[in-house]
Amino acid sequence: MEVSIPGVIGAVLGYVDWRVVGGVVEGRLRKLDRSSGPAEAAVFERKLRILRAVLFVGTVLTFPVIGYLLGVTISGR
């Protein structure tokens, strides 16, 4: 399998897209945090870690692949 430059650029753009989406989602959730004590804050952080892991697995496997395929398709290679 040959790796093309447009495909790699598309994969990098997909990775950047994942970072942006993850940052926006986490920022919005942190604004909604209404933890009233350390125990509730710990539960919130644990749930946030789980969400980050799910986003990572779901989007790192998806966005770069889609970006790669779009890059290859647009370049015609």
If pLDDT is split at 50, 70 and 90, which confidence band does 65 have? confident
pTM of this prediction exceeds 0.75: no
Burial class (CB in 10 A: 0-12, 13-18, 19+), 67: buried
Give pLDDT, residue 42.
Answer: 94
Phi then psi for 33, rounded to 5 degrees?
-65, 125
Phi then psi for 3, rounded to 5 degrees?
-95, 125
Task: Dig out the tokens for 37 from the structure.
Answer: 């004590």
> In this structure, which long-range contacts are made by residues 49-52, counting pairs with CB atoms below 8 Å and at least 24 apart in sequence?
51/25, 51/26, 52/22, 52/26
Q: Residues 9-57: pLDDT tens digits? A: 877 877 787 788 889 999 999 999 898 999 999 999 999 999 888 887 7
Question: Which has the higher per-residue pLDDT, 3 or 44?
Answer: 44
